[in-house]
Amino acid sequence: MQILMFAKQKGGVGASTLAREIGVLAAAEGKRVAFVDLDPQASLSKWWNRRTANATETPNPALAAVAPDQLLSVLTRIRQAGAADLVIIDVPPSVHGFMLGVMRTADFILVPVRPTSDDFEALPDIVGMIEQSRCPYAFVVTQAQTGRKIRAVDEAIPILARQGRVACVIRFRTAFPSAAAAAMTATEYEPGGKAAEEVRGLWDFVAVELRKQQAAEAQPALQAAS
């Protein structure tokens, strides 16, 4: 079982949107995915509830309802039961004390950030916490305007790259809110669209990082066996 966590300093950056997109893409590849929604606003849970209201089979992604102080023990139980291949953790904005422990158990962290100076200036606290946890992470630029304001993205990438890696750029696409309204993801709602193409690129990046992490964990075990 691997854990992909989101982390962010601000609300509305697209974390829940990307959590849903990645969860659905991973499930389509046959992974058993479990969402964990730590945000009291519960966007991910509400979307999941609408999506699964009339489900006849066990939904994949599943949703694990967990209070933050129970999370580490629930993750251990999911791991021991072999109940999921990938757990995706969505988070509230800003830095909460309990998040450091979660980051330490995560295999990879994605930090969605809009390409604005206000967003960049908010990053140091959350990045500091991630670095303290030693979990590998990457930024993903979200809601980047297309067209004339494209310069904001050109400027964002070097600013972010000074602090960490940038997975990719997700542009402002109406397919995301439209898909959410239909309890879907962009890849389901408009599979041939640009939003879908961009999130597939993000999933490719994350999948490679998760495989690296798995290989790194297998290494000591292989050495011990030889």
Residues that bind ligand ADP (CB under 6 A): 8, 11-17, 43, 142-143, 170, 172-173, 176-177, 180
Smallest distance from Mg ion to CB 39, Å:
5
Q: Which residues, 5 to 44, sit near Mg ion by CB under 5 A?
A: 15-16, 43
> From the list ligand ADP, Mg ion, none, which binds 202 (C-beta under 5 to 8 Å, kind-based)?
none
DSSP state of 147: G
> How would you list the strands of the sheet with 2-6, edge to edge?
62-64, 33-37, 86-90, 2-6, 108-113, 137-144, 166-171
Smallest distance from ligand ADP to CB 137, Å:
16
Residue closer to ligand ADP, measured from CB, 27 or 42: 42
Dihedral of the CA atoms 64, 68, 70, 75 (nearest 10)?
50
| CB-based contact 29:159 (threshold 8 Å) | no
Q: Which residues, 42 to 81, sit near Mg ion by CB under 5 A?
A: 43
Residue closer to ligand ADP, measured from CB, 46 or 79: 46
Smallest distance from ligand ADP to CB 112, Å:
6
Residue closer to ligand ADP, measured from CB, 122 or 170: 170
As given in the structure block, the two tokens for residue 83 are 């109940």
Smallest distance from ligand ADP to CB 76, Å:
26
Smallest distance from Mg ion to CB 94, Å:
12
Half-sphere exposure of 48 (CA within 13 A, CB side): 24
> From the list Mg ion, ligand ADP, none, which binds 2 (C-beta under 5 to 8 Å, kind-based)?
none
| CB-based contact 128:155 (threshold 8 Å) | no
Give the amino acid at 71. Answer: L
> From the list Mg ion, ligand ADP, none, which binds 180 (C-beta under 5 to 8 Å, kind-based)?
ligand ADP
Beta strand extents in 38-147 (DSSP E only): 62-64, 86-90, 108-113, 137-144
Give the interface with Mg ion as residue ranges (CB under 5 A).
15-16, 43
